[in-house]
Amino acid sequence: DTGVSQNPRHKITKRGQNVTFRCDPISEHNRLYWYRQTLGQGPEFLTYFQNEAQLEKSRLLSDRFSAERPKGSFSTLEIQRTEQGDSAMYLCASSPSPAGHEQYFGPGTRLTVT
Amino acid sequence: AQKVTQAQTEISVVEKEDVTLDCVYETRDTTYYLFWYKQPPSGELVFLIRRNSFDEQNEISGRYSWNFQKSTSSFNFTITASQVVDSAVYFCALRPAGNMLTFGGGTRLMVKP
């Protein structure tokens, strides 16, 4: 069990550029979650996958955000036309079934939009 | 709507003191789960405990203990004989019938030697 991994750990980009983050969950976990955490706040839910199906999306996930989990393993989160307000820590978590099980978090990707 | 409130934004104690972190939640669901996570300076959220709504037994794990009271919608966390390594931000979280975790704003605990 190597834990949840995320890449890159840090990303600095200019406003208007597109960025993509990757999350590799714990191998036997079929549920994968994305959260966003801004400084001094708790994480906020963005979206959730069960296997390759995206089952829930938060209102926080604007049209500029898209997430995929094509083979039910790793997931990507893309932000198009980044804005300064997108600067945050993007956290990925995974959990096994059934529902209610604890979620295990990765180290996060810190995005800075200049 | 779901909500988690951690009224204490920052607590400072001296090593070996006991400290209690408060958590109050709101949900209309009858089945739900409560969690505590620790976020040390390195940034990675570390799972501490899960409780379901039907299990009000208090739990003790080493220096950590948790008090779950449905009557007051509270799930408080106590660290006994605090240590410098306990310094971190602690988050309480609620997971009702859906799949998302709703986090509180966190309590920053500073343990001074």
For each of chain B's 113 residues, which pLDDT tens digit applies?
A: 889 999 999 999 999 999 999 999 999 998 999 999 999 988 899 999 999 898 888 888 899 999 999 999 999 999 999 999 999 999 999 998 777 899 999 999 999 99
Contact: B101, A35; criterion CB under 8 Å: yes
Contact: A31, B52; criterion CB under 8 Å: no
Whether pLDDT at A1 is above 70: no
- B30 forms beta bridges with none
Q: How far is A42 from chain B (nearest CA, A)?
A: 5
- Our measurement of the distance from residue B33's CA atom to the centroid of its chain's CA atoms, rounded to an integer in Å, reads 12
Chain B positions touching A105 (Cβ under 8 A) are 37, 44-47
Residue A9 touches chain B, beta carbons under 8 Å: no
Number of continuous H segments (helices) and E segments (strands) in chain A: 0, 11
At B94-108, the pLDDT tens digits run 998 777 899 999 999
Of all residues in chain B, the one with the smallest CA distance to A6 is B44
Tokens of B15: 């090593």
Tokens of A17: 């550029």
Whether pLDDT at A5 is above 90: yes
Contact: A48, B99; criterion CB under 8 Å: yes
Q: What is the rounded distance in angstroms from the CA atom of residue A69 to the CA atom of residue A72? A: 5
A12 with A114: CB under 8 angstroms?
A: yes
Name the pLDDT band for A100 (thresholds 50, 70, 90). Answer: low
User: In 3-state terms, chain A is what percent helix, strand and coil (to 5)?
Assistant: 5, 50, 50
- Our measurement of the distance from residue B57's CA atom to the centroid of its chain's CA atoms, rounded to an integer in Å, reads 15
Tokens of A60: 């926080």
